[in-house]
Amino acid sequence: MDDDKWENAYVQDKQTEVFHNQQGDPEYSKKLNLIYECQHLVGNDRSGRLPLNIAVIGAPGCGKSSFLNTVFASFNTDSWREIAPIGFYKILGSQLHFTERFKSFTKKDYYRGGSKDDGVLLPTFLDMTGFPDENSKTVLDLLEMLFSGRIKELQKLSDFVQGAKHMSSSVNLYNKEVNHLPVDRIIVVSTLDPDSPLPSNLLCSIVEASRKNRDIPVYGVLTGRDKYNPMYNKKVSEKVTNFCQVLGLPKHRFAYITNYCEESDPDLKYLYTTIPQFDVPVLRFMKQVKDTQKIKKVKERLLENCKSLVGIRGQDKKPLTIAVIGSPGGGKSSFLNTVFAALGNKRWIEHAKGADTGETGKQITQKLKRFLKEDYYGTQDAYLMPTFLDMKGFEDEDTLLKTELLNIVLSGKMENGEKFSDIDSYYRKYGIQALRRKYLRTRKKIERVNRLIVVCSANPDASLPKDLFEIIIDVTSRNREITIYGVFTQTDKYTFDDPRVVEKERTFLINLGIPETRFARIRNYCPDVVPSLKYTKTTIPLLDIPVLRFMRGVLTPEPMDSVIDNPSEPQPFWKQYIATSETYRSISDRFGVTISSTHRAVRRCTTADANCRPVHLLAR
């Protein structure tokens, strides 16, 4: 890492000299260069981006508002101004101490660079509350609402405190319709003063809330750079270490800052000029806060990994076919659209439509939809990007029809746009044998499925479709193995701090018999995750990276990918008994659980089809 990314964390030994004419300051030219670099990083309004929303948080009296005014002065070359009011108001009582209202500062509020910089997307700063050192549910709920953009401009935060007392789930209900400035970065401010205790409980709450909201990047600032030197004061050094450890900060996301104030400039020269020696560490730090290029490079590298795995035309390869399955409401279509955004690398588009539901709440007529490369991939090249199959959400019913229906899809015998209800009607009219003859014996194969991704919601109150899981394992075990992968969606709402979510994940993996290396926790592109809907104009690398890491595993070549399928009819259940039993026995041995789906499949076979031989005779 180059020096300018580390220097903002160094402490000066010498006393800062304030010049009447800032151009005489030896740091002046460096300040101008850093302002230009910050402008270059954020881009302009022609890039399709939106300004970053940066939240500044700290305990009362930590220098938060002074830090904001110092940042504003650093971006200008005239003088310091008090734009963020210094001080805080308290709500009397034992509950919480908050600044009175939520306030945002846009570029027009603080930047005085002239008309030539009108299109530059300098960030919006959010002046947050002075929080007490608490890790209470009320503090956590308010932080989550602030980070997700559900606090209105100039809204009294005490309103939320009072409202939360009357709500069992305040985060889900309060200001649900509000979509105002969701946070992209968090800067936590505290003081280097060793006699001021570190608000460790508040820092933990900030980290927890940031993880629940799209893993928002957290940065840290300690003020008082001119007064407290950690190189010569052990208490100060320990405070710096603890501050960075609690927030999990690497060195390039941390800075010592000298705020513009009477203590740092007793002559108040800053009222008539800026102080480049104060500004340069601030601008170096803000350069890191605004730098989205690192995240983009990670995404680009993962996307190139995926492309190299699928190969190009002319290499005796064909695109993989990946089916996505789940129960209704599990986020299946949203997951597909998220994958398309990550692989397409342009912007989010609703390619896969959400399922309709009838009056009973169950899904009504649906069609199989094949998404080819040209449907979602935004670049014309020779890469063999996979084909995705979107199908209806399967109800959790352990029936012979559901088994054969999934078998038809995975065998590549269902045509694009064909209605699932047509297969259902044919089965009810002519029976299972006629259904097999029509679809599995005589119909030409399109493309058999190579991978199956099972999608479920992380919501611990939504039960897992265990009967559907058994059908999936039954069908994927026929003829040749189809590798199963698993995904949990809605992980922005239901985190793995909840032991019920952890238990649901464990049960999910056991029932499908998949290792953790074939499982991912995904945040889908949706208004709940990104209330600003800016993903309709661009992609969001922080959402794309976990998806691309997961897809890198899915797209890794397997020996059976190049095998030409035998067009013969898949074997019925009773011929699959031995292989299926071995599959379940291995899962049972591994996890120490009893799985009886094989025997249920046998019962279905013996009762629903007179031509299907009883397995118990074979077992003898």
Q: In the structure, what pLDDT confidence band is assigned to residue 494 with cuts at 50, 70 and 90?
A: confident
426 phi and psi angles, rounded to 5 deg: -65, -40
Using DSSP's 3-state secondary structure scheme, residue 411 falls into coil
Q: Under CATH, what is the fold of the domain 3-291?
A: Rossmann fold (3.40.50)
Q: In the structure, what pLDDT confidence band is assigned to residue 220 with cuts at 50, 70 and 90?
A: very high
pLDDT at 20: 59
Structure tokens at 35: 């302002």
CA 297 to chain CA mean position, Å: 17
Domains 3-291 and 296-309+317-350+362-570 share a fold: yes
C-alpha pair distances (Å), 116 with each of 42, 44, 52, 119, 345:
15, 11, 20, 8, 31
Q: Which residue has the tokens 């460096």?
A: 30
Identify the CATH assignment for 296-309+317-350+362-570 out of 3.40.50.300, 3.40.50.10420, 3.30.1370.60, 3.30.1490.20. Answer: 3.40.50.300
| Highest mean pLDDT pick, 174-178, 190-194, 599-603 | 190-194
- Answer yes or no: is pLDDT of 333 > 60: yes
Mean pLDDT of all residues belonging to the chain: 76
Of 156-170, 255-269, 361-375, the range with the lowest mean pLDDT is 156-170
Position 520, amino acid: A
Non-local (6+) Cβ contacts of 220 within 8 A are 187, 188, 189, 190, 243, 244, 247, 249, 253, 254, 255
pLDDT tens digits, one per residue of 6-62:
345 444 444 556 665 677 777 888 889 888 888 888 877 665 567 889 999 988 878
**Residue of higher predicted confidence among 553 and 5:** 553
Q: Which residue has the tokens 């912007």?
A: 347
Alpha-carbon span 453 to 482, nearest angstrom: 10
pTM of the complete model: 0.56
Non-local (6+) Cβ contacts of 404 within 8 A are 427, 432, 435, 436
**Residue of higher predicted confidence among 335 and 411:** 335
Q: What is the mean pLDDT of residues 322-334?
A: 85
Dihedral through CA 381, CA 387, CA 393, CA 396, nearest 10? -140
Of 152-156, 303-307, 427-431, 468-472, the range with the lowest mean pLDDT is 152-156
Domain ranges across the chain = 3-291, 296-309+317-350+362-570, 571-620
Helix ranges (H only) for 420-498 are 420-430, 432-436, 466-476
pLDDT tens digits, one per residue of 546-555:
899 899 999 9
Of 124-128, 212-216, 468-472, 569-573, the range with the lowest mean pLDDT is 569-573
- Answer yes or no: is pLDDT of 318 > 80: yes
Share of the chain above pLDDT 70, in %: 72
Q: In the structure, what pLDDT confidence band is assigned to residue 290 with cuts at 50, 70 and 90?
A: confident
- Answer yes or no: is pLDDT of 332 > 70: yes
The residues facing 313 across adjacent strands are none
Among 431, 360, 418, smallest CA distance to 392 is for 418
pLDDT tens digits, one per residue of 527-537:
766 666 667 77
Alpha-carbon span 180 to 102, nearest angstrom: 11
Non-local (6+) Cβ contacts of 122 within 8 A are 38, 39, 42, 51, 75, 107, 111
Q: How many CB atoms lie within 10 A of CB 292?
A: 18
Non-local (6+) Cβ contacts of 176 within 8 A are 150
Structure tokens at 450: 């190579």
Alpha-carbon span 68 to 406, nearest angstrom: 58
Q: What is the mean pLDDT of residues 455-464?
A: 90
